Amino acid sequence: MDNNEGDELVNQNEETRKIQYTGGSSYIVSLPKRWIQDLRLKQGDHVVIARQGHSILQITPASKKISKDQREARIEVTKNDTPYFLARKLISLYFLGFNIIHISQKDAGRLSGEQRQVMKDVVRRVLMGTEIIADSATSITLQVLINLLDLSVDAAFKRMLLIAKSMHRDAILSLRENNIELAKEILKSDDEVDRFSFYIVRQLNIAIKNEHLLEEIGLEDSRNCLGYRIIVKSMERIADHAAIIAKDIIEMETPLNKDIIEKIAEMSNFALEVLDEACLSIFKRDYDSADLAIEKSRRIDTLEKGIIQVASKLTDISIIYRIKIVTENIRRVAEYASDIAEVVLNMTVQQKVRKG
């Protein structure tokens, strides 16, 4: 693994190296020193050599070695640090791919009860696969136990999709039945969507630094990481709009007219159909499906205007206001679905041009 100064440099990412014959039966070629350093490899580590076609060999570090890599971080807090300042630090370190996080009070002081409670809430509600493995008056240690390869990006995103759709369906059911308890359950589901969202962002941050892991977590190209980040944020917002509807149902004093609710249900079902088509285009990597989803999403405005037109004939201003809140949040579902489909267009347009 020497640098071989005599090797001819072709460009920044390509080098020409000489094949050598050794031991009477083996051919060897040295690996670039910078590549070894960038991936933090050392003598004795394993690499996987895979043949690609007739004339290409692909060399990647063994996945098992990297997946077991334990990255540790330490946070020192003071009594003046607010619990939410600490929570934001924890989430940032989780995003960056740290496996073990130590939190301790500066100068061996005790962590406050509020600091401890917020940390435990963050672990339970936000940081998927994270557990508290050590807990004392002065410090807490967290460890991310879930393996990088246990849950692919697509699989985690499918879970987000299923939960977000269920939240919207429950919101309409809650509206029909004036079911406050069901509306409260929707708010709890929003935390679950956030957990998957943060997990995917963590996956993307780790994979973008280790290109050989991209395919193993379900991505073909590092350029798709930014697209997936936007898609995940859109899905997170879709779930948020279901939570907004649920909060409004909890505060609603007078149930809505059944005819109005049926029109709202029709609009919601249409928005979820657009969402399904947009997400299907992700999994299929299908430019045409994404384009159709964008075209279909435009019809949501017509459905919303029809409901508002009927609602405007009512005399109770507060009821009209509630209807507008619900329809606006449903319309946003279709708009975010359209945003998702646009990202898919950008991710697949090169493939479409090649086919053309």
Q: Does residue 8 have a pLDDT over 80?
A: no
Quote the pLDDT of residue 10: 40
Quote the pLDDT of residue 65: 44
Q: Per-residue pLDDT tens for 21-79?
A: 876 677 888 888 888 887 778 888 888 887 655 677 778 777 544 444 568 898 888 87
Q: Per-residue pLDDT tens for 93-130?
A: 998 888 899 988 877 678 888 888 888 888 888 888 88
| Per-residue H/E/C for the chain | CCCCCCCEEEECCEEECCCEEECCCEEECCCCHHHHHHCCCCCCCCEEEEEECCCEEEEEECHHHHHCCCCEEEEEECCCCCHHHHHHHHHHHHHCCCCEEEEEEHHHCCCCHHHHHHHHHHHHHCCCCEEEEEECCCEEEEEECCCCCCCCHHHHHHHHHHHHHHHHHHHHHHHHHCCHHHHHHHHHHHHHHHHHHHHHHHHHHHHHHCHHHCHHHCCCCCCHHHHHHHHHHHHHHHHHHHHHHHHHHHHCCCCCCHHHHHHHHHHHHHHHHHHHHHHHHHHHCCHHHHHHHHHHHCCHHHHHHHHHHHHCCCCCHHHHHHHHHHHHHHHHHHHHHHHHHHHHHHHHHHHHHHHC
Quote the pLDDT of residue 206: 80
Single pTM value for the model:
0.75
Q: Which domains does the chain have, with CATH numbers?
A: 8-66 (2.10.260.10), 72-144 (3.30.110.20), 153-355 (1.20.58.220)
Q: Per-residue pLDDT tens for 224-246?
A: 888 899 999 999 999 999 999 99
Mean pLDDT of the residues in the chain: 84
Mean pLDDT computed over 185-214 = 85
